[in-house]
Amino acid sequence: MDTRRPILLIAALSGVLAGCAPASPPAVAATPQAPAPTTTPTPFVLATRPLHWITPDVTPTPAPRPTRTPVDSGPLPVLRAERLTWVSPSDGMTLLGIPEGGFWMGSGADDAYAEPDEIPLRRVFLDGYWIDQTEVTNGMYATCVQAGACTPPPSAFAPYSPHPYFGDPAYDDYPVVNVSWDQASAYCTWAGRRLPTEAEWEKASRGTDARRFPWEWIGVADPEKLNFCDERCAFSWHVPNIDDGYAETAPVGSYPKGASPFQALDMAGNVWEWTADWYAAAAYRESPLRNPAGPQDGTWRVVRGASWSDGVHVRSLVYARSANRHYQAPDSTRSDLGFRCALSASAAAP
């Protein structure tokens, strides 16, 4: 998949083109500038059951798993270092608190698997924010439609498959797909949130230790960690002998072993996700080091995270990395593209 083009998928069958009470975050303390991790590239090694992708030889300092204190759907708690969770009264979504601070964003030029638009690896500071733990579901989106604030997507899963999807109770817990950037943004606005910036998305996915994948440094085609194009998948690039349990999308949160350091789920696989940013190839080189929000305008919107329709052979595994960037036209609707929402820590609760 070329990052200089919109995501194009070709169906294997018939050769048809598929297709967070209001408060300001704590005063900012100076953030020590840790040296950027360095790596020594090694080649890809392919195997079956499981399929492994061997990454550069590194010994990272493990990031401790956050201890989260569940709260109910009352007033939004003040976000501090304790990393609370909060349930939105608008749609029942669980939000994860991401404290203010720095993280490593992008990829180093010495990373053999980095693509040009994700270079360089830089220390970026973000104010505190909240982000949805999972992708927005069909059931959640339907509530917005019923409220008259959202327009419905197609009821079928088309173009990949004509089976019923949105509106079918059997798929209420699956991610909503076939929604444009405007539709995703409208939903987040209705829910009292917004789409996450590209930087917010990436920090929630990889944590603060520069890991390449949400769960660890090494990429493994582990069917317990992500939903990808496995042996059930109809495309020619599917991975044989590995079964993640679903031919297409999976119910959100189906892969807890693939959780990020902040406990965000489905940050790799299931569906690509809209972000707030316009796409610019040079954004990672030119954007500010504090709360980057992307260009003021553009032609394409950034999407992140890979999907059920992506394989994991050689280059395709690159798409599941937390730093990988792709883009789509804002009016694009796809069966492998959904979204999650975010909320600034200083924002008033809806």
List the chain pLDDT tens, one digit each, 350 residues: 443 344 433 333 333 333 333 333 333 333 344 555 544 333 322 222 232 222 333 333 333 444 445 445 566 666 665 558 999 999 999 999 999 999 999 999 888 889 999 999 999 999 999 999 999 999 999 999 999 999 999 999 987 788 999 999 999 999 999 999 999 999 999 999 999 999 999 999 999 999 999 988 666 678 999 999 988 988 888 888 889 999 999 999 999 999 999 999 999 999 999 999 999 999 999 999 999 999 999 999 999 999 999 887 644 577 899 999 999 999 999 999 999 999 999 875 54
Eight-class DSSP state of 73: S
Give phi and psi for 196, each to the nearest 5: -75, 150
278 forms beta bridges with 301
Q: Which helix (H) or strand (E) holds 53?
A: strand 51-53
Is 316 within 8 Å of 307 (Cβ atoms)?
Answer: no
Domain 1-24+36-350 has CATH 3.90.1580.10: yes
User: Considering the entire predicted model, what is its pTM?
Assistant: 0.79
Give residue 221's pLDDT: 76
Which of 123, 84, 169 is CA-nearest to residue 343? 84
Give residue 80's pLDDT: 61
- Using the Cα atoms of residue 262, residue 265, residue 267 and residue 273 in order, give the sign of their dihedral: negative
Domain ranges across the chain: 1-24+36-350
Give residue 313's pLDDT: 60
Neighbouring CB atoms inside 10 A of 190's CB total: 20
Q: CA 179, CA 154: separation in Å to the nearest integer?
A: 9
Q: CA 152, CA 168: separation in Å to the nearest integer?
A: 13
> What does DSSP say about strands 85-87 and 272-278: parallel, antiparallel, or unpaired?
unpaired
Give phi and psi for 98, each to the nearest 5: -110, 105
